[in-house]
Structure 1
Amino acid sequence: GGQKQRVAVAGMLAMRPSVLILDEATAMLDPSGRKEVFRTVRRLNREAGITVVWITHFMEEAAQADRLLVMSDGAVAMQGTPREVFRQVQAVRALGLDVPPMTALGFSLRGNGLALPDDILTLEEMVEALCPLLHKP
């Protein structure tokens, strides 16, 4: 998966754009194809300095962005870094979106009394936050 999308991205890059706008570029791909296309575009952003506007409903992808704009009814409803936006779990959900899985888990665990940070985005961050709690007397 992801071969056609990579070919399409390669064709766009041949034009040497300074900005690349991708609308749901990974929507029809399996998880490994999504990761492959996302990694390729991310590398282009980092190494070639191409500005990427990545439009997606996949929150795991959105969590890797430098900045997020959350749109609702054609207007910007929220903006900031992924941590700034996703820590507002209820506001994001009120817009009909979800948060990354580890953010949702952290929100649920905090609701059940665990003292966890409100800006966990990844599995690694969740493990790092939970381990000290397991060793408390």
Structure 2
Amino acid sequence: AGALATRPACIVFDEPTSMLDPAGRRQILATIHRLNREEGLTVILITHAMDEAVAADRVLVMHAGRVVMDDTPAAVFARSDDLLALGLDLPPAVEIAHRLRAHGVPLPAGLLTVEQLAQALC
């Protein structure tokens, strides 16, 4: 709260949902999104939780201290094989779509959420 009192243009959150239960995690993410949308605050969210990254405007993936991907969430998560090779997890919907495609199920690119995946399958 003290950091926000100075009305910064940008704020960095480093693993803000780590060790939180699902309800606490949702509350923190909702607050971060509100700060971005309503207050116009630039947010840099550092996370290993790929399901949090899908809500970003831009995703950077780092490996061995270097940026190896820098694009929209749809473009980054379209590179499922590359992410897996880096030892990263995929968001649940992306992982399910990846596995379904591997078994011959035709799905459009850019499915990032469970809701999008369900709509594509129905």
TM-score (norm 1): 0.86
Match of 2:52 in 1: 61
**Secondary structure, aligned partner of 1:120:** coil
1:118: how far off? 2.9
**Secondary structure, aligned partner of 1:77:** strand
Matches of 1:31 and 1:89, distance apart in 2: 25
Match of 1:103 in 2: 94
Q: Kindly report which structure 2 residues correspond to 1:45-60, keeping only aligned pairs within 5 A, or say none.
A: 45-60=36-51
Q: Is residue 116 of structure 2 the alignment partner of residue 125 of structure 1?
A: yes
Any conservation in 2 of the 1:69–1:80 contact (CA below 8 Å)? yes
1:90: how far off? 0.6
Matches of 1:124 and 1:62, distance apart in 2: 16
1:99: how far off? 1.1
Which of residues 68, 93, 117 in structure 1 aligns to 2:84? 93
Look up the equivalent residue of 2:24 and give its one-letter code: G
* Percent of aligned pairs with the same amino acid: 50
Look up the equivalent residue of 1:21 and give its one-letter code: V
Any conservation in 2 of the 1:19–1:50 contact (CA below 8 Å)? yes
Q: Which runs of 5+ in 1 are unaligned?
A: 1-9, 132-137
Aligned residue pair count: 122
**Secondary structure, aligned partner of 1:22:** strand
Q: Is residue 29 of structure 2 the alignment partner of residue 38 of structure 1?
A: yes
The structure with the largest alpha-carbon Rg is 1
Runs of 4+ in structure 1 off by over 4 angstroms are: none
| Per-residue CA distance 1:88-131 (angstroms, 9 max, x = gap) | 10101111111100100001001111111132111110111000
The CA RMSD measured in Å over matched residues stands at 0.8
Match of 2:68 in 1: 77
